[in-house]
Amino acid sequence: MRCRIIAPAGAAFAFAIGASGGVVAQSALAELGLTETGARNFVLQEIKSPASGRRSPIAIAGTRAFLKRPRSARGQAATGLFAWAKAYASSPAFKAAYEGYRKGRVPGMRQYALTVEETVKRDIEQELAGFEQMKQGIGSLPPADQQKILAQVKEAQATLTNPDAIAARRAALEAERAGEAANQASLVQRVEQETPADPRTLFARRLREFLDATSDVNFSARTINLTGGTDGIEFVDKADRARHWMWHEAAIVGREATAAARAAAEAWLKEIER
């Protein structure tokens, strides 16, 4: 799934992975100017359309929220957000929304009223009946024209009932149905990969992604603010600009928030994998 429910360290990170159990710390949301509804929407939106960079709404919201807090308070806020995220993820509301989204992504397998053999037989019979109607409707034409049309109809009927033609028609229909079944199976497989039945599988994958991306963050990386606001921070060194966007966000929100987020992620991952 190009799957990244894990957003940057801090608020966005906790929203994005929000999914697996714990005690809600409502104050963690309020302290960052966030609402329960807004945070839940972030979680579900990330599942449906994962963030892939710093310009995603969830990354922007996380950065803005954390940079409004004193650096010394960001670690506590990150811990609280993880607690909220785990609690929401274990709630009936989340489970219902997640399962509903999964089911909605895979349409029901098409059911055929007739077998391939029955379908071919029906289609041929309908076409033959059409030719018979055509023969009945040429009585007003000149005899020469009637004979010409009757010859064409006879030839078409012979082709239609030719065993080789019937076999080819049957093979084409079988291939069409097999293709539909293969496409369905591929879709089911993709949905299972992107949104597995047990969301903990997805959370574990993304927790590891976050931990890998932020394992060596340079909190002294040189930055420049192009706009004067929190959304205009860019990295000066080319090597830093090439880093994973979660690395960028971690460097921006700071050591305190990142350390707390990583500790919570490691604990969560161990809990999932027990």
List, for residues 88-118, the tens digit of each pLDDT value: 888 899 999 999 999 888 877 788 999 999 9
User: For position 243, what pLDDT does the model report?
Assistant: 96
Confidence of residue 17 (pLDDT cuts 50, 70, 90): very low
Contacts of 253 by beta carbon, 8 Å cutoff, 6+ apart: 8, 9, 10, 62, 63, 66, 67, 74
SS3 content of the chain, % helix, strand, coil (to 5): 70, 0, 30
Confidence of residue 15 (pLDDT cuts 50, 70, 90): very low
Query: Is residue 16 predicted with pLDDT exceeding 50?
Result: no
CA dist list (Å): 230 to 29, 31, 60, 253: 19, 18, 8, 10
pLDDT in tens, 131-190: 999 888 888 899 999 899 999 999 999 999 999 999 999 999 999 999 999 999 999 899
pTM for this predicted structure: 0.70
pLDDT in tens, 52-72: 888 888 888 888 888 888 999
Q: Which tokens sit at 192?
A: 């299972």
User: For position 35, what pLDDT does the model report?
Assistant: 79
Q: CA 14, CA 39: separation in Å to the nearest integer?
A: 9
Query: Is residue 260 predicted with pLDDT exceeding 90?
Result: yes
User: For position 10, what pLDDT does the model report?
Assistant: 43
User: For position 161, what pLDDT does the model report?
Assistant: 94
Strands 223-225 and 233-235: antiparallel
Least confident piece of the model among 146-155, 199-208, 235-244: 199-208
Q: CA 195, CA 22: separation in Å to the nearest integer?
A: 21
Query: Is residue 7 predicted with pLDDT exceeding 50?
Result: no
Confidence of residue 3 (pLDDT cuts 50, 70, 90): very low
- Closest CA relative to residue 268, chosen from 89, 102, 46: 89
- Residue percentage of the chain with pLDDT more than 90: 49
User: For position 26, what pLDDT does the model report?
Assistant: 55
C-alpha angle 40/41/42, rounded to 5°? 90
Q: Taking the CB of residue 54, how many other CB atoms lie within 10 A of it?
A: 20
User: For position 13, what pLDDT does the model report?
Assistant: 47
Torsion of CA 153, 154, 156, 161, to 10 degrees: 140
Higher pLDDT, 252 or 50: 252
Query: Is residue 28 predicted with pLDDT exceeding 80?
Result: no
